[in-house]
Structure 1
């Protein structure tokens, strides 16, 4: 019993280490997106993200198992998933250029709640009372942050909210893919399919990144991959009930970065709305853990 406890404790600390890497990666990607928004269009940022990510994924594929694991019979589903994911990324990076970093992250945290709702429609899962409560809490939190009717809702905030729906759709479709596709295959098709999705619209107003911007371009491309890799490693080592609360640290961390680097203020509506959203996630997470 003592040995089992130590093994779990060790796994939890290792998961926390990987989550620290995820937190740094997500924060780096957000700051990089904010810095690049002044010079590049959102489509260009997404193009360079895929351009840098594709060879990195291929190197990992060649190192672990070879290209045989990239074969798929479900290319149409990959296409639909990546169109939704690309839309999510577009809204997320677009929002970074206009609203506070903390507000972007807070609205993004509604993704698990919309995923629970979309799973009912796309996967035929049951809408339990707990899931419904979680979604309601998320909606209340989002309304508190956006404050429609009290102040003018910034279009960028709506773009991030739509991005959350895009991410939720992609996550839900991922559940259909994981039964036959390897994680590396899914990541490979993310970069491969989204490369032209970013390039084609970006060509209309192409701007060559300045020398000062290239470190941020590389940082966005690399951190986008390391964030999800670190998250996956953490989830392999510890339960979601351990990993997800650690992921919540993204919000205060990015709020501090926004305050110190960009002079952003954390409003009462952002703080209160975030609490409602995080409460909804925890309610749903605890219920799923209990069912499991």
Structure 2
């Protein structure tokens, strides 16, 4: 999701508070996906997310007389969101099978893949700091999945592919940000992804049990609130301040996995996640020096 191009209003405390909201939202959405896929398909879980998001965003658009949804870049929106939906599918599929901490560790490679794709498709410089960041990220991935270990399976590769898909959508967003409003991008994202999930979901539809109504609301509202909170955090502090706070998701989800899902502590996952995170921070620090 694009970050609104609003003036930076330095206030680290507000940035921290908004990021706490983002952490709660991301974690809630992950838990909702895990719980819902115990009962229904990944397609159906994603359909509920899109239905709720489209309903909320349509109400906002109607209040503003639909001024923020008009676009002449429908082809770009379609391409971006087919890729993003594939990423969402891989992420939720991984959450249904892998330890939660492993999914989050692999997900932290998104900035690394974004740096590679931005250099290939947008002509952004591939500096030595980005090369170091990419190298650290690859080593971190190897530590997390450990070739020859049980972690190597379809679900792990699905999450890794999801991280690549998310990176591709960020590249699309950078390309579109000069002409498309953030609300336009988010509105079309959910509207296009609704039939992508709903059509296959209808072939294997399961009537949700009443105890899952909470998780249905959580996966939809969590998806909206997470990006909203990150956008506001970026208004009050730069990426070098906000990005490290996102890493708190890993120990939080590891504790939740241990307490509620009997997932054992895996030092390899945590060590790989730390190395991937360190690679992201090297890239941020290098970019600040270069500028």
TM-score (norm: length of structure 2): 0.94
Question: Offset of 1:152 from its aligned partner?
Answer: 5.7
> What displacement does 1:61 show?
2.9
Q: How is 1:60-79 mapped onto 2 (pairs within 5 angstroms)?
A: 60-63=60-63, 65-79=64-78
Distance 2:122 2:75 in 1: 17
Q: How far, CA to CA, are the matches of 1:129 and 1:27 in structure 2? A: 33
State how far apart, in whole Å, the 1-side matches of 2:32 and 2:86 are. Answer: 19
Residues of 2 paired with 1:66 and 1:120: CA distance? 39
Aligned residues: 283
Check if 1:172 corresponds to 2:171: yes
Structure 2 partner of 1:250: 249
In the alignment, the residues of structure 2 paired with residue 247 and residue 160 of structure 1 have an alpha-carbon distance, to the nearest angstrom, of 18
What is the alpha-carbon root mean square deviation over aligned residues?
A: 1.2
Worse-matched range after superposition: 38-47 or 120-129: 120-129
- The answer to whether the aligner puts 1:109 opposite 2:108 as a matched pair is yes
Summarize deviations over 1:58-109 as a string: whole Å, max 9, x none: 223344x431121111111111110111011000100111111111111000
Q: Distance in 2 between matches of 1:114 and 1:202?
A: 30
Instruction: Report how far residue 151 of structure 1 moved.
Output: 4.0
The corresponding residue for 1:12 is 12
Unaligned stretches of 5+ residues in structure 1 = 1-6
Task: Return the structure number with greater helix share.
Answer: 1
For residues 175 and 241 of structure 2, what CA distance do their matches in structure 1 show? Answer: 25
Structure 1: distance between partners of 2:14 and 2:175: 29
| Structural mapping, 1:63-212, within 5 Å | 63=63, 65-151=64-150, 153-212=152-211
Q: What residue number does 1:56 align with? A: 56
Inter-partner Cα distance in structure 2 for 1:97 and 1:89: 12
Residue of structure 2 equivalent to 1:230: 229
Give the TM-score normalised by structure 1: 0.94
Structure-1 separation of matches of 2:121 and 2:54: 29
CA distance in 2, matches of 1:102, 1:168: 20
- Check the 8 A contact 1:82/1:190 in 2, yes or no: yes
State the shift of 1:150 in Å: 4.0
The 4+ residue runs of structure 1 with deviation greater than 4 A are none
Q: Kindly indicate whether the alpha-carbon contact (under 8 Å) linking 2:61 and 2:67 is maintained by their aligned counterparts in 1.
A: no
How far apart in 1 are the matches of 2:211 and 2:151?
35
The structural deviation recorded for 1:211 is 1.2
Q: 1:152 to 1:290 in 2, by over 3 A?
A: closer
CA distance in 2: counterparts of 1:152 and 1:243, whole angstroms: 30
1:87–1:163: 8 Å Cα contact kept in structure 2?
yes
Question: Whole-Å Cα distance in 2 between the matches of residues 157 and 150 of structure 1?
Answer: 11
Aligned residues of 2:101 and 2:254 also touching (Cα < 8 A): yes
Secondary structure at the counterpart of residue 205 of structure 1? coil
Distance 2:69 2:32 in 1: 30
Tell me the CA shift for residue 52 of structure 1.
0.5
CA contact 1:143–1:273 (8 Å) conserved in 2: yes
Residue 5 of structure 2 is matched in structure 1 by none
| Unaligned stretches of 5+ residues in structure 2 | 1-8
Contact 1:102 1:266 in 2 (8 A): no
1:271-292 CA deviation, whole Å, 9 max, x = no partner?
2111210111000011122233
Is the Cα–Cα contact under 8 Å of residues 32 and 220 in structure 1 kept in the other structure?
A: yes
User: Which digits, 9 at most, give the CA deviation of each residue in 1:250-290, with x for residues without a partner?
Assistant: 11111111111112122121121112101110000111222
